[in-house]
A and B are shown apart, each in its own frame.
Chain A
Amino acid sequence: MGDVKLENVTKRYEDVTAVDNMNIQIHDGEFVCLVGPSGCGKSTTMEMVAGLTMPTEGTVHIAGREVTNLPPKDRGVAMVFQNIALFPHMDVYDNISFGLRLRNFEKDEIDRRVDKAAEVVQLEGMLDRMPDEMSGGQRQRVAIARAIVRQPDVFLMDEPLANLDAKLRVHMRTELQRLHKDLETTVIYVTHDQAEAMTMSDRIAIIDGGQLQQIDPPLECYNQPANLFVAGFIGSPSMNFVEGEVTENGFTSEYMDVEFDPSNYGVSAGDKVTLGVRPEDIYPAESGRSISSPTGEIRTKTDVIEPMGDEIFIYLLLSEEVETDLEDPAASNQLLISVPPDSDVEEDQDMSVVLDRNKIHLFDTESGQAIEHSLVASPAASGASGTSGAESDD
């Protein structure tokens, strides 16, 4: 009933294409996050679902009917905005009941629904307050109550937690999940915070440059990113990338090699590829941690160390001639790893690390598309996993 389908939707503003041929199908009751960097087109996509922006091309379907040219009021959607957008001249009751009053609901029915909505978002006893007498969290609850009171087919939420402080944001995140569980209504949620997307959604749609990069469950996006952008965007800190090329024996780059049989992965010698590995999938060799399929040791030098409390981030230099680039942790000449908080590490100390072959991703450098998400299959020469050697060449 609350399913949403975007078919070949494009939005152009004069010479800028904000959304480029977007195809998304969202199922009834699903919680889908649209994530991406600022200006990627995620909010425009949501506005086209809401009817606040008309697509240049393509069609929008909600609950099985085409709504491409319908005004927002006739689409059966409710929206929560980033700046909350409560009507400042109305009290909480009037704000929540606004949509119902417009539709000429009976007074009793309005009261019943407003009370129910206020109860759901825990706003009982505050119905006669004005928005400027409320805290940020309370206002956000009013905005949510205003959305749920109409019992829409689809909730649209455009970065609704972005203006709240960190603690309240985490709290409201949980509340929204609880609400979704209770209401079982389709939610489309726009955010640029990938942690929000990971924790809340059934599926994440990652958008960049107006194009859909991947739409999958959070862990699938994390473990099997469709391309370099998704791999870099999902996960904090970001995935490490090392550019190199395929040889007869596997992967080689200026700083490190990883052996594998190219024929097992549909690549051949000479192909330009990028190797990606997440910080938590790199281990200090001396940690003694048993990994089923480790690569050979890679000699590095520790640079900046960032203790986070529950873990420590270490920037490792693959070559002595370069410096750590904190702006771009994914730079090819460095690795960012995360180690347990009790690890004994110091700056400028030599450290050998191994990568977990199960968790190594291979991307086509030119197209950015993922080729493989695990290099655990047998290396070409030895045929035995865990014995391949990866050497730093510093």
Chain B
Amino acid sequence: MTSHVGRLYALALALLVFFLAWAAFAARPWARTAATSTSPQLRALAAREHRLRARSVLVRRVVARRWATYRAELQRRQARNAAAARLASAPAPSVRVVTLPPLTITRTS
């Protein structure tokens, strides 16, 4: 009786040890350590990604600055065009030489 119960406990313990070992093996803890600490390609890729991210920030800044310059120049050009259009559409001054006595005079201002 005692030896029968003992064998059951031993079997349960063996099953538990087996499943724990299987879970530990399935987790492959050695794979992560090897990838991060030993692969030079992965390190190079990570560094490249970092450089590209930094460069993209710079490019975004340059584009924003050029866009602002372009907008300001566009605004100036539109103002110049509007002024030119205003002048072009302004009625021509009505003036002619007459022999009347002047009502007022012009001189260097």
A binds B: no
Residues of A within 8 A of B (CB): none
